[in-house]
Amino acid sequence: MKKHPAVIVVGGGAAGILAALQARRQGASVRIVEKTDRLGTKILISGGGKCNVAHDGPLEDVIKAFRPNEARFIRPACYRLTNQQIIEMFTSRGLEVYTRPNGRVFPVHQTAKDVVAILEGYLEEAGVEIIRDCAVLEVISESNQIQGIRTAQGDMQTSHLVLSVGGSSYPKTGCTGDGWPWAKALGHQIVKVRAALAPVYLEMESADPRAGVSLRDVILKARIQGKEIARWSGDVLLTHRGLSGPCVLGITRIIAERFHEGPVTLEADLEPEKSFEVLSGEIQCWIQENPKKFILSVLNTNIPERIRENILEFAEIDNQPGRSLSKKLLNRLIENLKAFPLGTVRTVPLEKGEVVAGGVSLDEVDPQTMRSKICRGLYLCGEILDIAGPVGGYNLQAAFATGFVAGETAGQDALLDRS
């Protein structure tokens, strides 16, 4: 019969791997118990299989990309495992990386598989025991002290348990929100779990024939009863069911939070660099110089043709020579360029999000140690916590850093208890 490990880490994703490694480095015996047959299932699909492994630049900027309460919580952990240290953790094992102008760090040739292989290499060298294909079913505690876990392969005893089972998006990766009922049963508050960094499905009668069309460098605005509730800059991709792309992922957390207030409509400013007046002046100038040219050709050719046709259609303007365009029609044309209607949100599918917002309340976890303030011997890290950063390598930063600290504390506590 196997000896009981000093520390058990439930969930072998980004946070769990770092926790196990760091606990082992303290000298504690460590076991990862992972539900699926692989470690890092979410890392493998991250960044479209490329893995945006970190965000470069000043650490404070990385931290401030999170909401203020989340930033306050992750700050100590991020200073313990900085973005530069994360990058070095991979580059020192041969991963070549490059940084995009927007700060996102990706492997040059390799894929997310190489990122996971490097992490597995660290675990093997450190001597972390890994049990795959073993779902944890329950956490066992007595008088607010962790005793162990109940798994599909029987009970396992430990007094130091790191919970790093992630969130509940992409359930096929093994992440089905298992950790929240356990944390709740141990006395933790769970902040309502909502979609974040997800696509949007729109109200529509049939699949959008424009699927695949991209709107580049626009400002996407969300409104409820005409009042703007959120905006985000970037690219929008039209899909069969609605919208996706970085800009859409950026705005969905707020939409999911405000959805109950009323129908949310979306529109895109297709010419965000130019004011209404500047656009009006430019178009009038163009018409004067090209009076016989048709109005469709005046529109910025960076805007896809299908969308330019929509603009005329929505503004109820025939594609006519520019000289015949009245002032009233010109204004309608510009109104549609500055607020191109995209539709009404039907839903934000939580399961399709890169992360979920909500989870174990940050008030009940010590940010310096990741110890639960409620239950002795419990450490929480990664997406199980109420943290959701934007797209750009921020979420792996939060998972790696909080995992690092949780593991270090659990390992040290375990050794102290034994001495």
Ligand X SMILES: Cc1cc2nc3c(=O)[nH]c(=O)nc-3n(C[C@H](O)[C@H](O)[C@H](O)COP(=O)(O)OP(=O)(O)OC[C@H]3O[C@@H](n4cnc5c(N)ncnc54)[C@H](O)[C@@H]3O)c2cc1C
Please report, as residue ranges, which positions from 204 to 233 form the binding site for ligand X (by CB under 6 A). Answer: none
Radius of gyration of the chain (CA): 25
Spatial CB neighbours of 177, under 8 Å, sequence gap ≥ 6? 167, 168, 193
CB of 15 to ligand X, least distance (A): 3
H-run or E-run covering 271 = none
Q: Considering the rule CB under 6 A, would residue 374 count as an interface residue with ligand X?
A: no
H-run or E-run covering 192 = strand 190-196
Q: Considering the rule CB under 6 A, would residue 365 count as an interface residue with ligand X?
A: no
Q: Considering the rule CB under 6 A, would residue 395 count as an interface residue with ligand X?
A: yes
CB of 304 to ligand X, least distance (A): 26
| 14 or 287: CB nearest ligand X | 14
Question: Residues in contact with ligand X, total (CB under 6 A)?
Answer: 38
* H-type alpha helices, 230-384: 246-258, 276-289, 305-314, 327-338
Instruction: Find the part of the chain contacting ligand X (CB under 6 A) among 31-39, 63-71, 258-266, 318-326.
Output: 31-39
Distance of CA 217 to the CA centre of its chain: 20
Q: Considering the rule CB under 6 A, would residue 168 count as an interface residue with ligand X?
A: no
- Reading the block at residue 71, the tokens are 């930033």
Cβ-closest position to ligand X: 13
Q: Considering the rule CB under 6 A, would residue 267 count as an interface residue with ligand X?
A: no
SS3 of 392, please? Answer: coil
Q: Considering the rule CB under 6 A, would residue 14 count as an interface residue with ligand X?
A: yes
Question: Quick one: which of 234, 246, 358, 393 contacts ligand X (CB under 6 A)?
Answer: 393
Do 349 and 198 form a contact (C-beta atoms < 8 A)?
A: yes
What do you get for the CA distance between the two ends of the chain, in Å?
24
| 13 or 242: CB nearest ligand X | 13
Spatial CB neighbours of 101, under 8 Å, sequence gap ≥ 6? none
Q: How many residues does the chain have?
A: 419
| Distance between CA atoms of residues 232 and 220, nearest Å | 5
CB of 132 to ligand X, least distance (A): 9
> Using H for helix, E for strand and C for coil, what is the string for 313-343?
HHCCCCCCEHHHCCHHHHHHHHHHHHCEEEE
Taking each helix axis from N to C end, the angle separating 394-418 and 68-80, rounded to the nearest 10 degrees, works out to 60
x/- map, 117-156, ligand X, by CB under 6 A:
------------------xx--------------------
Question: Quick one: which of 164, 244, 265, 409 contacts ligand X (CB under 6 A)?
Answer: 164
| 161 or 165: CB nearest ligand X | 165
Please report, as residue ranges, which positions from 49 to 88 form the binding site for ligand X (by CB under 6 A). Answer: 51-52
CB of 223 to ligand X, least distance (A): 28
Question: Which residues of this chain interact with ligand X, rule CB under 6 A?
Answer: 10-16, 33-36, 41-43, 45-47, 51-52, 135-136, 164-166, 169-170, 174-175, 178, 354-355, 382-383, 393-396, 399
